Amino acid sequence: MDPYVSTTELNLSMGEAPYDDLEHEGLLLPDIIKLPSLKKLTLCDVEVHSIDLEHMIRRSPVLEDMHFVNCAHHLELVESNMLKRLTIDGFFDRGKGLTIAAPHLIHFECNGWPLEEISWQKRPSLESAHIDTWCSKRTFDGQYDLTGMVLHAKRLALCGSDIKAVLEKELRSCLVFDNLVTLEIGGWCLTNDLYVVVRFLQLSPRLEKLTLKQRELQKVTKGEETSSIPVAGMAFKCPLLETVVIQCSKDDDEIEKTVNAMAAHGIGLEKIQVIFYEDIERAERWGKSLEEMKEHDILEKARKENRERVDDCNAGSDNNDEDDDEMEEEDDDEMEDEDDDDDDF
């Protein structure tokens, strides 16, 4: 690859690395990359060190969008005054933790990296965020100030037990999310633990769509317990809220409690929709939306019923033919009997 390419977008992938190759040997960034026009960079299955990234950012002065996908991160610092979007999706060998210094960041996405290992300098004011964290079992007694960074966001997806621990502390004294329109939240057992959800609704007067993600049954640890804060007496007003989607496993027998709890807080049942993770995964395998899969299932059901009707009609027709044959045989027998009587006379 020419290290002095004039391009606005670069996708650098070294192929799919095996999950047991934690060191990503040989999957390294080039020593020198100078891309003065580069705006978007995607690194997939690449070993990334802080010094390499620092050099690349310095030689790419308009770089504003970075994606790390299943990379081996030996990063301690991501620093850029131009960066607007940062995605960390999967990782190998996290190292000592990550510090982000990007004051103009407007979107942050992080999947699988423990929240406790991410610290911030020059805190941004995010317009959107998608954070799905691993369980670190931390209580976050210190002030992480996640809510301060997302206070003016329009779209938020916050999932995982780390998120729950942070929000339980910070939402108590949080200001109002005046711009928040779409909220996706959960990743823990919501059935008896709705404090974070209800408190968020109290602080989100412009919210239009809410998605609750019940923890998948296959991820439940036997004997695991979650602490919950009572929600009795907590009320909220979300006059613009039109849709509440609850995602859960098909075998989750207690999800009705969550539906009833939302209804008890004044959300009409006509606004609540339950979607199963199994259906979501099936739609993703087929490369279709849930609506398309629903239409497909309706058509398949109609075809099956039509085939069954045709089979029943054919079976009925066969039975009628047999009945006709029997009637003809009976008629023939009767005529023969009549002929015999005539001969007697």
Render pLDDT for 191-221 as a digit per residue (tens, 0 to 9). Answer: 888 999 999 999 999 999 999 999 887 665 5
Please state the pTM of the whole predicted model.
0.78
176-204 burial: b if 16+ Cβ within 10 Å, else e:
ebeebebbbbbbbbbbebbbbbbbbbbbb
Tell me the backbone φ, ψ of residue 324, rounded to 5 degrees. -65, -40
Using the structure block, give the residue that is written with the tokens 């970075």. 66
**Neighbour count for residue 345 (Cβ, 10 Å):** 4
What is residue 61's three-state secondary structure? coil
pLDDT digits (tens, 9 = 90+) for 320-333: 555 555 555 555 55
User: Of the given ranges (13-27, 92-106, 135-149), which has the lowest mean pLDDT?
Assistant: 13-27
**Which two tokens mark 185?**
């939240």
What is residue 285's three-state secondary structure? helix
Helical axes 195-202 vs 161-170, angle rounded to 10°: 50
HEC letters along 179-231: CCCEEEEECCCCCCCCHHHHHHHHCCCCCCEEEEECCCHHHCCCCCCCCCCCC
**Neighbour count for residue 53 (Cβ, 10 Å):** 22
